[in-house]
Amino acid sequence: MYFVNKRIDYIDFIKGCCIFLVVWAHSIQNMGPDNAFWENPIHIFICSFHMPIFMLISGFFFNHSINKTLLQTTKRKFIQLIIPCFGWSLILVLIHVIEMIINEIPISLFEQIKYLFYETGTRFWFLRSVFICYICAIISLKVFKKDYIACIVSFLIFLSIPDNFRLAMDKFMYPYFWFGYFIHKYIDKIYKYKNTILPISFIIFVLLLINWEKKYYIYVTGMSFYFIEGYKIIFFPYMERLYIVIYRYLIGFSGCIFFFLLLKKLYNPKWYLYRLLKETGKYTLGIYVIHIFIEGMILKHINLPNIGFFSFNFLVTPIVSIFLIFFCIIIIKLLQKNKLSNFLFLGVSYSSNEQSIIKNKL
């Protein structure tokens, strides 16, 4: 049986802020002109750190899993992270089958099963990455014992494999997971020197952000120094790829630590907006999967190319994002009313007739 862990208010507040950034970035991506988001400065700003800081928060709670067996951790995280991916992908497959029936297209059961597992492993990629990071980290700790050795060695091993099977995102996220773990371990010391860390990390982040280019997106260049095509191993220019990887991590780490410490410092439960963001932070897993589902089905068909930069980035897409988040929370609360839907779409399991809530540690 799992037990409810006591929530940390400022962590929920940070998660609430970050899930808004995630939805906002996706709204910019889906509602603007085709491929214009690659050069959109707001999109660039958000994507430079928004998923890394979510992985940092996942790693922040890794210490809760260290003393558990690999089987316990695998089962718990599979339910929490992979089951919702499967549940929402199942809905996508059903919609796809209905469309095929309407259009009188022959249906192959084998192809639909392939489609189901492909969507489960790729569409909601971040949850898959959190799952992989947990498993890799727990195995490396059991093998190497010392956390810093486990972190370094496992990352180098991870980095040495190719990006095939869409592993680039998992490899990119892995160090941020460990970063969160070490921040939790040394949080008192880190916060003691926050007045030094904050300006330094801010300066590094801004300087790197000014020099951002499209090639620094993980989606564009990946992580590997080589790839396998058929029976051939093809290498990328070593120094160029190394520079991209280092740059990407520098801006990610500096952005993560700056915004983590800044938001922790700013959090004040007396302010209604902060309390609202804190409450939103309790639903991040559900918001993440549901908003991707909705945006993939609806927002990608909306195109607003001629309303102006300011209106698009600071009025339309933020307002759409806010409404989308509230709509997702309504759906989450409805799904929570039923045991099966709570399990299949939100990754919440039950044991001994008692609800065992697996915290949404995105």
Please write the tens of the pLDDT for every residue from 247-265. Answer: 999 999 999 999 999 999 9
Residue type, 168: A
* pLDDT (tens digit per residue) in 210-243: 999 999 999 999 898 888 777 788 888 889 999 9
Asked if residue 78 lies in contact with residue 134, where contact means CB atoms within 8 angstroms, the answer is no
The answer, yes or no, to whether residue 344 has pLDDT greater than 90, is yes
Return the pLDDT at 354.
42
Q: Are 223 and 246 in contact (CB under 8 A)?
A: no
Mean pLDDT of 10-19: 97
Encode pLDDT of 281-327 as tens digits: 999 999 999 999 888 777 777 777 678 899 999 999 999 999 999 99
Query: What is the per-residue pLDDT for 5?
Result: 54
Residue 302 has a pLDDT of 75
Residue 358 banded pLDDT, cuts 50, 70, 90 = very low
Provide long-range contacts, Cβ within 8 A and 24+ apart, for 193-201: 194/261, 194/265, 197/257, 197/258, 197/261, 198/258, 198/261, 198/262, 198/265, 201/254, 201/255, 201/257, 201/258, 201/261
Reported pTM: 0.91
The H or E element containing residue 165 is none
CA dihedral sign, ordered 256, 257, 259, 260 = positive
| Residues of the chain above pLDDT 70, percent | 94
CA gap 150, 96 in Å, rounded = 43
